[in-house]
Chain A
Amino acid sequence: MKTSRIPVFKTSLKDSSIAGKIFFYRYFYLMLLPVVIWYFVFSYTPMYGITLAFKSFNYNEGIIGSPWIGFQNFLDMVKDPGFISAFKNTLIISFCKLLIHFPVPIILSILLNEMTRRRLKKVYQTIFTFPHFISWVVMSGIIISILSKDGIVNQIISVFGGDAVSPLVTSSQFRTVIYTTHIWKQMGWDSIIYLAALANINPELLEAASIDGAGRFQKIMHITWPCIRGTAAILLILQIGLMLNIGSGFDQIFNLYNSSVYDVADTIDTFIFRTTFTIGSDFGYMTAVGLVKSVINLLLLITANYTVRKLGEQGIF
Chain B
Amino acid sequence: MINSKTLKNEGKLFSILNIILLGLLSVIAIFPFYNVFIVSLAKIEVIVKQPVYIIPLSFDLTSYKQIVMEPKFVNAMLVSIFVTVSGVCLSMLLSVLGAYALSKKNMPGRNFLLAAILFTMFFNGGLIPYYLVVKNAGLINNVLCMVIPPAINTFYLIIMKNYFTTIPASLEESARIDGANDIFILIRIIIPTSAPFIATFALFYSVDRWNEWWNALMFINESKKAPLQIFLREILINFSNQFSTMAEALRDRNKTTYLKGIQMAAVVVSSIPILLVYPYLQKHFVKGILVGALKE
Instruction: Name the residue of chain B whose CB is nearest to the CB of A47.
Output: B125
* CB <8 Å contact, B278 and A130: yes
- A255 and B294: CB pair below 8 A? no
Q: Is the Cβ of A127 less than 8 Å from the Cβ of B107?
A: no
Q: Which of B14-22, B57-65, B193-201, B248-256 contacts A (4 or more CB under 8 A)?
A: B14-22
Whether a CB of chain B sits under 8 angstroms from the CB of A94 is no
A92: interface (CB < 8 Å): no
In the assembled complex, the Cα of A142 lies from the Cα of B260 at a distance in Å of: 10
Establish whether residues B232 and A286, one from each chain, have CB atoms under 8 Å apart when the complex forms: no
Q: B107 contacts which chain A residues (CB < 8 A)?
A: 21, 25, 28-29
Query: Judging by beta carbons under 8 Å apart, are A291 and B10 in contact?
Result: no
Given A39-B116, A39-B120, A46-B125, also A141-B236 (CB < 8 A):
yes
Query: Which residues of chain A from 175 to 203 have any CB-CB distance to chain B below 8 Å in the complex?
Result: 184, 188, 192-193, 195-197, 199
| Known contacts A27-B183, A42-B130, A156-B52; is-contact A141 B94 (Cβ 8 Å) | no
Decide if A12 touches B128 in the complex (CB within 8 Å): no
Chain A nearest CB, measured from B207 CB (Å): 5
Inter-chain contact B152/A137, CB cutoff 8 Å: no
Within the complex, the shortest CB–CB distance from A134 to chain B, in Å, comes to 7
Q: Are B237 and A215 in contact (CB under 8 A)?
A: no
**Stretch of B67-75, B81-89, B173-181 contacting A (4+ beta carbons < 8 Å):** B173-181
Contact present for B101 and A32 (CB under 8 Å): yes
User: For chains A and B in complex, what number of residue pairs have CB atoms within 8 angstroms?
Assistant: 265
By secondary structure, the A interface counts as helix
Give the total of A residues in contact with B, Cβ under 8 Å.
Answer: 100
- Give the Cβ gap from B214 to chain A, nearest Cβ, in Å: 7
Task: Identify the closest chain A residue to B131 (Cβ).
Answer: A276
Using a CB-CB cutoff of 8 Å, which residues 120-167 of chain A contact chain B? 120, 123-131, 133-135, 137-138, 140-146, 150, 152, 155-156, 158-159
A45 touches B122 (CB 8 A): no
| B64 → A minimal CB distance (Å) | 17
Interface residues of B in 19-61 (CB under 8 A from A): 19, 21-23, 25-26, 28-30, 32-33, 35-36, 39, 51-54
> Which of A80-88, A95-103, A294-302 has 4 or more CB atoms under 8 Å from chain B?
A294-302
User: Do A46 and B122 form a contact, CB below 8 Å, given A25-B104, A114-B14, A141-B232?
Assistant: no
Q: Mark A102-124, 1 if CB is under 8 A from B, else 0.
A: 00000000011011110010011
Q: B285, A21: Cβ atoms under 8 Å?
A: no
Task: Tell me whether A18 and B108 are in contact in the complex, defined as CB-CB below 8 angstroms, given that A30-B183, A197-B291 are known contacts.
Answer: yes
Q: Is A260 at the interface (CB under 8 A from chain B)?
A: no
Instruction: Say yes or no for A283: interface residue by CB 8 A criterion.
Output: yes
The interface centre, meaning the residue of A22, A38, A120 with most chain B CB atoms within 10 A of its CB, is: A38
Evaluate contact between B282 and A126: CB separation under 8 angstroms.
yes
Identify the interface centre among A8, A120, A141: most chain B CB within 10 Å of its CB: A141
Q: B149 contacts the other chain (Cβ, under 8 Å)?
A: yes
Q: Does B290 lie within 8 Å of A193, measured CB to CB?
A: yes
Residues on A with C-beta less than 8 A from B211 are 133-135, 137-138
B51 touches A39 (CB 8 A): no
B-contacting residues of A (Cβ < 8 Å)? Answer: 8-9, 12, 18, 21-22, 25, 27-32, 34-36, 38-39, 41-50, 52, 63, 111-112, 114-117, 120, 123-131, 133-135, 137-138, 140-146, 150, 152, 155-156, 158-159, 184, 188, 192-193, 195-197, 199, 210, 213, 215-217, 231, 234-235, 241-242, 250-251, 255, 269, 272-273, 276-277, 283, 286-287, 290-291, 293-294, 297-298, 301
Ordered by A's residue number, 16 sampled pairs between the chains whose C-beta atoms are within 8 Å are A25-B104, A42-B134, A45-B125, A49-B128, A50-B126, A63-B132, A115-B19, A116-B15, A123-B26, A133-B281, A141-B267, A142-B35, A193-B294, A213-B1, A287-B128, A293-B126
Q: A28-B182, A128-B29 are in contact. List 15 more A-B contacts (CB 8 A).
A: A12-B173, A28-B104, A35-B157, A44-B120, A46-B130, A120-B19, A125-B286, A130-B278, A134-B274, A137-B233, A143-B32, A146-B32, A192-B286, A287-B128, A290-B129
Q: Which 7 A-B pairs have the closest CB atoms?
A: A49-B129, A290-B126, A46-B125, A141-B236, A35-B98, A135-B211, A27-B182
